[in-house]
Structure 1
Amino acid sequence: MSLAFLVTTLIVVATPGTGVVYTLSAGLSHGRRASLVAAVGCTLGIVPHMVATITGLAALLHASAVAFQVLKYLGVAYLLYMAWTMLRSDAAIIVETRTTARPPAGRVIMSGVLINLLNPKLTMFFVAFLPQFVSAGEPDSLPRMLELSAIFMLLTLVVFAAYGTFAAGVRNHVISRPRVMTWIGRVFAGSFVALGAKLALTQQ
């Protein structure tokens, strides 16, 4: 494993995107536990892209314009749905201190998985990224790609958990200010809309 791989991975993972926005909103909405569960969900959402890349399905996705467009617009639709769910309540981000207000862990994980699953850019990234760190004709290329993918997922989990823990840490300072929470919710909703628009304009 090279230093270049670690640095590049950290830059990619730490750059705010849909997963980061979702993890931050989970931390602010429901606390540290929910943010960590969201981080796990987003990390699990990487697995299908990793499998697609290693098995060659990503090459098919790259070659088929129709498949790429279908997956892309499913991702756009889901991002817009996430934005709508944040705006449909008066407070935009629903913050409750009652334990009953916390969504089931399974639902949080599923949302995190879908956010990354319906993002064809992630598969394209793996197609362009992993081969750079695997020598052509290397006899152990498959184990090597699995190793690098596992490291990518571990760093994703750590970085996202750090984002979520930070959000949960400042949660108590903002939940008593409904107007602040409303604007935070609007910012997150706007972020999902912007990310959806960016994804919609993405070309193969």
Structure 2
Amino acid sequence: MIPLNELLLFAGAALLMVLTPGPNMVYLISRSISQGRMAGFISLLGVIAGFLVHMLAAATGLTALFLAVPLAYEILRWAGALYLLWLAWQAVRPSARSPFEAQDLPIDSTARLFLMGFLTNALNPKIAVFYLAIFPQFISPQHGSIFLQSVVLGLTQICVSFSINLLIVLSAASIATWFSRNPRWLSVQRYFMGFVLGAFAVRLAFKQRRNA
């Protein structure tokens, strides 16, 4: 199985992804503020269903293919590093917008809330790149079944994302209000996140491929 230190490192990478502003965070915050916590929670369930699609796609063959083809692995490794650097730049660029600036959304039914949460995540390029470019870096044939490793990593990422996003849904209004009264902390959060993402990108770029 995957060594504990590697699993914890992956959990840290998953935590960075969920804390980095993106379509999921913006939608859940806006929905929770516009329509209430229950609407935000139902939308979150749709987001989790989207994660399952990404996880199953990786677990049923993509990861094994990329590990088997050294060139594909190297391309994805560098693509993952460049993508993390791009996220770092998005965090620190002068015109970066806070995800806690809620958007006005219409009142939707329960079914539509779930569907919109699902589509927001299933079509989220940030999550797709995470599963395609970063996910395979933590899998090795030496640790047993690639399918099982993929499922373990996928469930780990889903648990991390669900926990953080649930906190965001439950406290969206309070967090948005606090940040509006303390705008300097938005800059601190942005630059700290940019530094951490940049450091992780450098680590990924110089990471050696595991032998089969």
Q: What is the TM-score normalised by the length of structure 2?
A: 0.62
Report if the CA contact (8 A) 2:2-2:143 is conserved.
Answer: no
Report if the CA contact (8 A) 2:54-2:128 is conserved.
Answer: yes
Alignment of 1:109-124 (within 5 A): 109-119=124-134, 122-124=135-137
The amino acid of 1:177's aligned partner reads: N
Q: Which moved more, 1:187-196 or 1:159-168?
A: 159-168
Match 1:60 to one of 60, 68, 72: 68
Question: Is 2:163 aligned against 1:154?
Answer: no
Give the secondary structure class of the aligned counterpart of 2:181: coil
Alignment of 1:1-204 (within 5 A): 8=4, 11-12=7-8, 15-17=11-13, 19-26=14-21, 31=29, 33=40, 36=44, 44-52=53-61, 56-61=64-69, 64=70, 66-90=71-95, 93-99=98-104, 105=120, 109-119=124-134, 122-128=135-141, 131=144, 149-150=150-151, 152-167=153-168, 169=171, 171-172=175-176, 173-204=178-209
CA drift at 1:15: 3.2
Give the RMSD, CA atoms, in angstroms: 4.0
Report if the CA contact (8 A) 1:42-1:115 is conserved.
Answer: no
Report if the CA contact (8 A) 1:40-1:157 is conserved.
Answer: no
CA drift at 1:181: 0.7
Report if the CA contact (8 A) 1:25-1:188 is conserved.
Answer: yes
Report if the CA contact (8 A) 1:79-1:196 is conserved.
Answer: yes
The amino acid of 1:111's aligned partner reads: K
What's the CA shift string for 1:65-87, capped at 9, x where partnerless?
A: x3322111111111111122222
CA–CA distance in structure 1, aligned partners of residues 76 and 10 of structure 2: 24
Structure 2 residue runs of 5 or longer lacking an equivalent are 33-39, 106-118
What's the CA shift string for 1:46-103, capped at 9, x where partnerless?
A: 444423377x424423xx2x33221111111111111222222445634312336xxx
Report if the CA contact (8 A) 2:66-2:73 is conserved.
Answer: no
Q: Which moved more, 1:190-199 or 1:41-50?
A: 41-50
CA drift at 1:23: 0.9
- Identity %, equivalent residues: 15
The amino acid of 2:61's aligned partner reads: A
CA drift at 1:148: 6.4
Structure 1 residue runs of 5 or longer lacking an equivalent are 135-144
2:37 aligned residue? none
Between the two proteins, the alignment pairs up a number of residues equal to 179
CA–CA distance in structure 2, aligned partners of residues 185 and 29 of structure 1: 15
